[in-house]
Amino acid sequence: MSERRQRAAQAGHMGYGSRLEEQPADELLASAFAHEVADGVLLYHGVSLADLAYCVMLCECGLIPRHARQPLMRGLLELHQIPAEQFPFDPIYGDVYANREQALRERVPEGGADGWLRLGRARRESSTVGYLVTTRAHLLRLIEAHAALIKTLLQLAAQHRTTLMPDYTYLQKAHPTTLAHYLLTFAAPLLRDAERLRATYTRLNQSPIGSGSVNGSRLPLDRARAAELLGFEGIAAHTRDAMWQADVAIEVAANIVILMTTLDRLAEDLFIFAAEEFGYLTLADAHSRTSVIMPQKKNPYSLAYVRGAARASGAALYTVIATNQTPSGQPDNRIFAYGELPRTLERATRAVRLLTGVLERAEWHTARMAERAAEGFSGATDLGDYLCEAANLDPHTAHRVIGYAVRAALEAGQASNQPLTSAALDQAAQALLGRTLQLPEAEVRQAQAPMAIVESRRGLGGASPESVTALLEDYRARYQDYQWWEDQEQVRLEMVEQTLLTLARAIAES
């Protein structure tokens, strides 16, 4: 037997020498146990806080003998000081919990004081609480980055309320609009994301501590106090549900996909707008990459990463869904989510921060956008409305007349940035209706003017500067509430952790 296996056997880990007679097989060590300890660095801080809080609660409830409290808490605090990346995780001991238990035993060798941490507590409770604390921290970091992205979009929109650009459907020019109105297209769903993320955070932030694995505990565990010590907003009341929740993990992963879908749509647009054929913006050199073989190229690599991260979030969602579609009470529900969900949150956070940086430093070519806003007969829709009012044509007939005039202009070689004339409309009307319209040339041209079109969109949510300003006021208020809540939650959790450590040190020094 190897030295490692001997140490594990002597420590009594994984049931060896009690229920199990054999040490874990090499193939089990190389697969399942290796998988679990691979998440050790990620989960270590959360599991450590979970152990400290549980120990404080047991001591306050008088469930740990006085002689064991001080050495046990000292050992836990010593483990807490070890940087996660320096902890000697070893698959031979099993999962993160068992590795920490072995390290604790080495630090509290006398009197079996370390064993009291098991009182009324399943292995999976420690891991699950650590996973929840870790995921909560990663979700809050994503929320912080997400709020910063919303702020950047709102600031850019405020600067560009009169910056003309063409809007697109099917990647074909549709109507003139403004850069501000275009950017708020993405602020709107991001603010809906804010509502979803905040609600999901609350559902995630429910404590399973003291559930006794499945059906509760005969011990007088103070579940409310344990939840308070770790900053949980509430308690997952049903003890079996508390340990094996599937829906919350799926909800977190799904909300990442929804958020990343919005990022992807913006990144896809910017990718196109940055192409020379459009020329609407230039990314900062710091957010670009050159080609190895083509020295003239400046590739928008940052946007490519955001697009890839969005697609990867979908794969992570499926992993979380698939590993939870099992009978209840299965450990694989958590084993694969322990690392998958925090890592997915971290990748999304990096992508959000990257896109925020891209937007902050990109150069918008406003003259180019304004020039293109007048192309493609983009005033045709408003010209149709004008025909309904001035020539008393029904919308269908007006549509036919303008469509005919556009086709005739293109066949005649007219540039698409030149407006249709009153004479062109008369020619089309004569061909289709057997009569002319004889409309004032100045009014026909004004109906097609890009800025006049934008300024006419004064209704709720429209592109006029006044409507955009109203939207900005509403969006700013919603952003500020979201950002304030995130700031307060960060401060609250920092205070909770400091309070927990103070209580733990008091027990260790008593």
| CA–CA distances in Å: residue 470 to residues 156, 184, 463, 467, 476 | 15, 12, 11, 5, 10
pLDDT of 23 above 90: no
pLDDT of 410 above 60: yes
| CA–CA distances in Å: residue 210 to residues 45, 116, 222, 491 | 20, 14, 7, 26
On whether the CB atoms of residues 199 and 405 are closer than 8 A, the answer is no
| CA–CA distances in Å: residue 63 to residues 54, 107, 120, 387, 484 | 11, 21, 10, 85, 40
* Local confidence band at 22 (pLDDT 50, 70, 90 cut-offs): confident
pLDDT of 501 above 90: yes
pLDDT at 20: 77
Average pLDDT, the chain: 93
pLDDT at 9: 57
pLDDT at 5: 59
Backbone angles phi, psi at 462, to 5 degrees: -75, 180
What confidence tens digit (pLDDT) does each residue in 142-169 have? 999 999 999 999 999 999 999 999 999 9
284-298, 383-397, 404-418: which range is least confident on average? 284-298
Give 20 or 121, the one with higher predicted confidence. Answer: 121
pLDDT of 338 above 70: yes
pLDDT at 3: 61
pLDDT of 331 above 80: no
Encode burial over 83-103: b for 16+ CB neighbours within 10 A, e otherwise: eeeebebbbbbbbbbbbbbbb
* Local confidence band at 4 (pLDDT 50, 70, 90 cut-offs): low
What confidence tens digit (pLDDT) does each residue in 257-305 have? 999 999 999 999 999 999 999 999 999 999 999 888 888 888 999 999 9
Category of 6 on φ-ψ map: left (φ > 0), alpha (ψ -120 to 50) or beta: alpha
How many Cα atoms are found within 13 Å in the side-chain-facing hemisphere of 436? 9
Matching residue, tokens 């300003």: 469
On whether the CB atoms of residues 72 and 64 are closer than 8 A, the answer is yes
pLDDT at 24: 84
Listed residue (396, 395, 394, 390) closest to 422, CA to CA: 390
pLDDT at 118: 92
Other CB atoms within a 10 A radius of the CB of residue 175 amount to 20
Could you say which DSSP state residue 362 is in? P
d(CA 281, CA 269): 11
Could you say which DSSP state residue 29 is in? I
pLDDT at 16: 55
* Local confidence band at 13 (pLDDT 50, 70, 90 cut-offs): low
On whether the CB atoms of residues 424 and 409 are closer than 8 A, the answer is yes
pLDDT at 2: 63
Could you say which DSSP state residue 16 is in? B
d(CA 51, CA 164): 58
pLDDT at 11: 53
Q: What is the DSSP string of 365-429?
A: -HHHHHHHHT-TTTTHHHHHHHHHHHS---HHHHHHHHHHHHHHHHHTT--TTSPPPHHHHHHHH
Q: What's the average model confidence in pLDDT over 26-53?
A: 92
Could you say which DSSP state residue 31 is in? I
d(CA 155, CA 130): 38
Q: Is the pTM of this model over 0.75?
A: yes
* Local confidence band at 7 (pLDDT 50, 70, 90 cut-offs): low
* Local confidence band at 14 (pLDDT 50, 70, 90 cut-offs): low
3-class DSSP string for 289-333: ECCCCCCCCCECHHHHHHHHHHHHHHHHHHHHHHCCCCCCCCCHH
- Relative to beta strand 281-282, strand 363-364 is antiparallel
pLDDT at 329: 79
Percent of the chain whose pLDDT exceeds 70: 96
d(CA 97, CA 245): 20
pLDDT at 327: 86
Domains and their CATH numbers in the chain: 3-123+502-509 (no CATH), 125-370+467-493 (1.20.200.10), 379-455 (1.10.40)
d(CA 510, CA 499): 17
pLDDT at 21: 77
pLDDT at 280: 97
How many Cα atoms are found within 13 Å in the side-chain-facing hemisphere of 55? 30
* Local confidence band at 17 (pLDDT 50, 70, 90 cut-offs): low
Listed residue (475, 496, 487, 505) closest to 184, CA to CA: 475
Listed residue (417, 408, 428) closest to 379, CA to CA: 417
d(CA 204, CA 135): 8
Matching residue, tokens 């952003």: 479
Other CB atoms within a 10 A radius of the CB of residue 241 amount to 16
On whether the CB atoms of residues 145 and 360 are closer than 8 A, the answer is no
Could you say which DSSP state residue 164 is in? E
129-138, 195-204, 241-250: which range is least confident on average? 241-250
pLDDT at 10: 55
d(CA 397, CA 425): 12
Paired strand residues for 207:
235
What confidence tens digit (pLDDT) does each residue in 365-376 have? 999 999 999 998
On whether the CB atoms of residues 127 and 339 are closer than 8 A, the answer is no
CA angle 340, 343, 344 (to 5 degrees): 80
Give 323 or 464, the one with higher predicted confidence. Answer: 464
Q: What's the average model confidence in pLDDT over 371-387?
A: 93
Give the dihedral sign, CA 283/275/150/141.
Answer: negative
